[in-house]
Each structure stands twice: as structure tokens, then as C-alpha cells.
Amino acid sequence: MKSYLKFPALIFAICLVFLPLFSACDKKDNGGEHVELVIYNWEDYIDIGDSEMGRNNILDDFCAYYREVTGDTLTIKYTTFDTNETMMTKVLNNDANVDLICPSEYAIEKLLLAGKLENQKKLYEELKPTLDGYGIDLDGMSSVGKGDGTIEDEIMNVIRVMFGSIEDGHGNTLDMTEYMVPYMWGTLGILYNKDVISQEELDEYGWGVLWNVQNNEELENKILMKDSVRDTYAAALFYMYEYDLLPEKYKDIKNAQDLINVTDDEMVEAAERVLTEQRDHISGYEVDFGKDDMINEIVYADFAWSGDALWAVEESYDEDDEVHDDGCFLGYYCPTGVNPKTEKERFSNIWYDGWVIPTTVKNPLAAMMFIDYMARPQNAVRNSVAIGYTCAADKQLMSENDEALAFLEEQEYDVEEYFSNVGRYPEINFALGVMRDFGGENEKVVNMWQRAKSGAGVDMSLVYVIVAIVGAFLIAALVYIIAQLLKRRPKKLSSAE
């Protein structure tokens, strides 16, 4: 390089090094601080982008938005959990120093009663001067007291009815809608292989398919259950109701809500029996790999959350498939409605996951802005399509949002079909029950589940037989020992001797 080119090149190199620092300071007068947001969410539960489709990671997009609004540089530390129980153990034991969590409704109730959550409505009031200074509001958040924000009214009504007046045991009444903003929702059901399980089987046997009550030889030991105590316990209750196996005092139950949260000894023992029996017919238990095993046809039925199921169904699509009407060899079935064989209603679970801010929050501003960002119709649709789950955003708002509609069309969805799909948007009625916190009864159910999952539960009649055999053996051994001791006693000598 010639000497007269060296100096300009050096200046250019220095500019490249310091350019990020200059750009971080050019938006606001607050010095362009660097802040961190720590998020704790379910695995596979947010749009991570698609480089082939030219779509960014939504976390990166939020960082850019935060930077644009505040002038600060944001880094997101994103960690995941596999079940509500895993997450709750860490939070309740103060082992999770995070800013945002996305639990299910019953887990939110438990964390709320434990005093681990911030009231978002109060946080909003505290942050309002700062928000006003940035010229933004949080109208999308249902928790800040401006109606239901961008969240579907029907969803908010269910949460309000179920969790709007929670007694904390200290004379206080808590409204969970002030502590969470719904993110995704759905049902529990059966992801199934259409080439192995017919629609007629599903209609006739319902939840019994997960126990292979129809004796389908191809299905035997090709069933996966959730490695999740609450979901699997619910499946056991639904199965017992459908097959008239409930304890006598519960046989008159008429809706899912009255059934799904029963935890007395009789019900838990009955659930343990059927879950222990089920082990002879299933392949095992899973949390995340079930949908992949279904796509790869390693198993043929999976007890699934609706979002995982719908994602797997779409992944099974083959445009050259001439066998299945929709081109998919997988399907999703939520056993509700009347069983034509027993003429009884079938029940299932409807669940709601939502964003909460724990008391460990260090960056409440970024946490609140993130919740609002996720609740916007265009971002809600984007997340929903990426992960397969149904977002809680208002359907009308999404269907009127140009960005949301353009995204659906870009992903080759029929917009009308997308919002009318009953698998994605089921009717919310009495056949779908919402889980509540089990409180002091939770440990009993967890212990039952551990025994059933490991096969440690043993039929008491067998215990009695074993005890009888061992007892008989001990008696025989004792008689033998006594006889041997008597033989060894020294003989008494007579006087003649």
C-alpha cells in the first residue's frame, strides 16, 4: 500500500470500530445506556425467524424497537423451561432472577398467591411519566386498565370469571387480570396418524385411544403421553368420566370445570390405577419431542397441546399426497361433544398462557414494553404462525390489520380459513375446563404421578398375597429352627447310669 493511502485507511478503520458507540448515542439525551431483559419462556414458544424467508428473530426486532424508542441498547437473555412445575420450582425457590415469565393460568395463580408477581397496572402508573416522555403508551396490554387492550374479549372474560377474585388468605382479594396478559391459548387432545387411527375410532373411543381400548395392534406401544403431572392427571379424569370409571360420588358431574380440579383421595387413587394400567400400552412420556416422533412416524398417537399438534399437522403436509383430503397424514382431535357409543359428553382442558412480571424484575420498563409489543396484532399473528399456537389477540383486530393480513398471505394462508379453523379457534363452552392451583393437594397428586409413571404402584390384592407368602415362609422357618434346637438338647442321665 502506498504511504499516502495509509492514513485515510487508518481513519476509516477507527470509524468502523467506534460507529456503534456513536449510533447508540444519537437518539436521546439519556446517554444511550446498555440494559438487559431476562425472559423465561417455554421451549419453542416464540418466533425465532427464518433466514430463508427473510424474517428476523422477533427478539431482535423488539431490541431494535426499544432502541428506536428509548435510545438505549437492549440485550435479551432468553432462557426456557419444559413444564410449569420446572419453572415454578425455580421461581418459588428464588433461583430465577428474571424480568418476564410466561406460565399457564394455574401456575400464575400459584405464583400470585406466593407473592412472586408484580401488579402490572400499578407498574404502568409508576412508569407513566417515563412512557409519556418517550411518547408511547401501552394500549395493547389488557392488564393496565384500558379495557381488554388487544386481547380477545372472550378470553379475558373466562380469565376474569375464573381468576378475578382470588383470596390470598390474608384478607386480600387479587384480580389476576392485573398481573398477566394472555399470550397463547389452546386445548388438550390427540395428535394422531390418519393411516393408523381412523376418524371412526376417534369418534367411538375418544380418550380411550390413549389407552388403546380398541385393541388396535398397530397402535399398541406407539402412544406418547405428556411428562407433565397436571396435563396427564387431567387426561386420566377425562378418560374415567367417558368410560364410567369415576368414584361413585362424582358420576353426576355435568361439566369439565367441576371435574378437572378434583383432588380428593378417592379421585387421585382412581387416576393412579388407570395411569398405571396405561403404561402397558404406551411408548413413554415426553414434553417436546412428541411432535417430531409423530412426523417421523416413530409413534402414531401423542397426547398433545393443540399448538404442537397443529404445527405437526402442517409439517406433515405433502402437496403430492393423493391419499388424504388435506394433504396431511397427521390430524388433531380434541375429544369433546357426545360419545355416540355411551351417549355421554366428553370433556377436555382449555388453557391460557400469559406474560407476568416477577418481583425479581430489574428492568420493568423493557418488560412492560415487551408485553405490549407481543400483544400487537401483527406480532401476535407472526408468533402464532411460527410456533403453531393460537394467539390471544382479538381476531377482529388481526383481521383488520394490514401487516397481519399481509403476513398471513405471504405465508400462503387462506385468511378466512385461518380464523375459522376450529382446531385453532375452538368454541369455548362447558366441555372445556380450566386448571386451577391445587394448593396443598398438589404434593399428593405429584407423588401419585411419580408412582404411576414409574410403575411403582402395586395392586393391593397382590400385596396381600405377597405378605401371606412371606408370613407362611417365616412361620415354616421358625418351626424348623425350633425343631433343630430341640434335637440338640442334651439328654438327661438316669440314676442307673
Q: Among candidates 394, 371, 396, 389, which has minimal Cα distance to 151?
A: 394
- pTM, two decimals, is 0.84
Q: State the pLDDT at residue 1.
A: 33
Q: State the pLDDT at residue 341.
A: 77
pLDDT in tens, 466-490: 455 666 667 777 766 776 665 555 5
Query: Rounded CA gap, 173 and 132, in Å?
Result: 31
- The CATH superfamily label for domain 185-351+447-454 reads Periplasmic binding protein-like II (3.40.190.10)
Greatest CA separation for the chain: 138
Q: Among candidates 189, 226, 185, which has minimal Cα distance to 355?
A: 185
Query: Could you confirm whether domain 23-184+354-423 is CATH 3.40.190.10?
Result: yes
Q: State the pLDDT at residue 51.
A: 78
Would you kindly state where each structural domain of the chain is located, as residue ranges? 23-184+354-423, 185-351+447-454
Owner of C-alpha cell 438327661: 492
Q: State the pLDDT at residue 317.
A: 96
C-alpha distances (whole Å) from 340 to each of 169, 183, 212, 244 are 45, 35, 18, 14
Q: How many C-beta neighbours within 10 Å does residue 297 have?
A: 14
Record the cell numbers describing residue 214, joined without a space.
380398541
| Identical topology for domains 23-184+354-423 and 185-351+447-454 | yes
Q: Among candidates 122, 119, 125, which has minimal Cα distance to 168?
A: 119
Q: Are 164 and 175 in contact (CB under 8 A)?
A: yes
Residues 6 or more apart whose Cβ sits within 8 Å of residue 104? 84, 351, 352, 353, 435
Q: Are 302 and 190 in contact (CB under 8 A)?
A: yes
Q: State the pLDDT at residue 456.
A: 65
Q: Are 188 and 351 in contact (CB under 8 A)?
A: yes
Q: State the pLDDT at residue 334.
A: 97
> Residue 34: beta bridge partners?
73
Amino acid at 252: D
Q: State the pLDDT at residue 461.
A: 44
The DSSP letter of residue 403 is: H
DSSP E strands, 149-272: 166-167, 173-174, 181-193, 223-226
Record the cell numbers describing residue 309, joined without a space.
399438534
The DSSP letter of residue 495 is: S
Residue numbers in the chain where pLDDT is lower than 70: 1-31, 456-473, 479-480, 483-497
Q: Among candidates 437, 430, 423, 438, which has minimal Cα distance to 187?
A: 423
Q: State the pLDDT at residue 478.
A: 73
For 310, phi then psi, to 5°, come to -65, -35
Owner of C-alpha cell 369439565: 256
C-alpha distances (whole Å) from 288 to each of 49, 292, 390 are 19, 8, 18
Q: What is the 3-class SS of 104-152, one letter each residue? A: EHHHHHHHHHCCCECCHHHHHHHHHHHHHHHCCCCCCCHHHCCCCCCEC
Query: Rounded CA gap, 38 and 89, in Å?
Result: 18
Q: Are 8 and 46 in contact (CB under 8 A)?
A: no
Radius of gyration of the chain (CA): 30
Number of H helices, E strands in the chain: 19, 15
The DSSP letter of residue 215 is: -
